[in-house]
Structure 1
Amino acid sequence: MAGPHRRVIPREELTAWERWELGGIDEERRARQPLPQTATPELPVQVQPEPEPVLLPPVDDPVPAYESLPVAEVSLPTAEEIEAIEQQAMREGFDAGLEAGRLAAEDEIGRLKNVLQSLENVTAGAERELAESVLDLALVLARELVRQEVAADRKLLLPAIVEALSGIPPAGGTSRLYLHPDDLSVLEPMLAIELSGETWRLIADPRLSPGDARIETASTQIDLALPGRWHTLLRVLNRAERDDLQWNAPVSPADGAGSGG
């Protein structure tokens, strides 16, 4: 019987190492045997999940899946809107056509102006050439006409002599007027009226051509020969270098045909 100094420990308060129970005979024998080597536990192999199969629509399905979606309602334009669209399209087309026509017209006008300018240049050049040709022909005809008139009428030299005498100062000494003998015989009676016999002497010079005259004073010498006067006229007309227009130049066949016509 336990004394009063001993305390009974309840079962619940006993720990694992404090608790002892009687084991069986087999348990004691196994306890004396060595423990077998335990194998290293293999790690579990991670298995990838198989991909889920993609389900395709049946081949014999004629309608795709998206066509089954609801279609949005489309509002059609009214008659007034359609007419307004037509009017706007007509205005835009008219404006575009008008602009294109204007540009084409400006281009055509520019080309016509260039053509007209070229024609004007050609016409002006032709007019200048024609005027020059006409003047040349007129000079040739005038030269031949003067030759014929002087040979036919000796009195034609008198106006030129009178005009030359009026332009010189009064002679202070003896002055001379040289004429072709044929001209002197015709003009001497008329010149005696114009010239004073005390101052002027009329001299026949066969070296002069018919229609020529030469005046000599104490201070002046005037050559009234037809070639000289004709050369002066050519110089005024900027044709002094033209040999075919000189007074003694022969008449070309073209000039003769022109004067004869």
Structure 2
Amino acid sequence: MATSDRRRGSRLGADGERWHRWQMGDLERKRSAAPGDSGRAEPAEPHQQDAKAAALRAEAELACNEGYATGHAEGHAEGYRDGYAEGLAAANAAAELEFHKRVSLHLTPLAGLAESFREALAQLDDETANQLVELALITGRQLAGESLAANPDHILSVVRELLEADHSLNGKSRLWLHPDDLTLVSSAIGDTLEASGWECCADHALERGGCRVTSASGGLDASLGTQWKAILDQRRRRQPPSPDATGTPDTPSESDATDGDA
């Protein structure tokens, strides 16, 4: 009978396809298998919920780790930049301080040497200036001698200046001249001198261009040697005193002591 039922339940249609007999159980199975027929989804299994939660936790932990790593890297980079700048500034300050210390250490001994060199240079300048002045005076005296030789009439101007200063002399005055100048003065202004009461006399010790006047009350010296000495004295008065001048006075020489005993 079962065989006959299967035969009845499975027959060939007109087109040759096999068809089955409808049964109530098939519809119920299809209805229970269709999604949404019950009105709500079946709840997930516990192991599925645990896996989903674990995945969310892993994703959150990964994001946290990534954020921490990123922040740590950025903070490390910023800290490195700040630390590098501060360290570089501190190193530069220390190097500059050390440089100044070394410079001061090496230059301090040279300060005294530089001061001594400056003083020596100043003294050398003074000595050089003095030598130049001496040379200029010697040259000037030579040029004056050459000028007097080329222009002997200069003695006339000297004698006239002495005549104007005659008020300081009392009594008969005598004018002493080089023999060559005596001839020139006597021929040029002899009458004037005679009218003033002056007597012309020769003095071979005098240089040409110079003269001197003597009287009972004193005299006037216009010789070249005296004029030259006056120039030198004036120069010495203008020259600053040397360090030796402020020291102890010079001890008298043996010749001075001998002269004093005499």
Larger relative contact order (Cα-Cα within 8 Å, sequence gap ≥ 6): 1
**Greater C-alpha Rg:** 1
More helix by share: 2
User: What is the TM-score of this pair, normalised by structure 1?
Assistant: 0.49
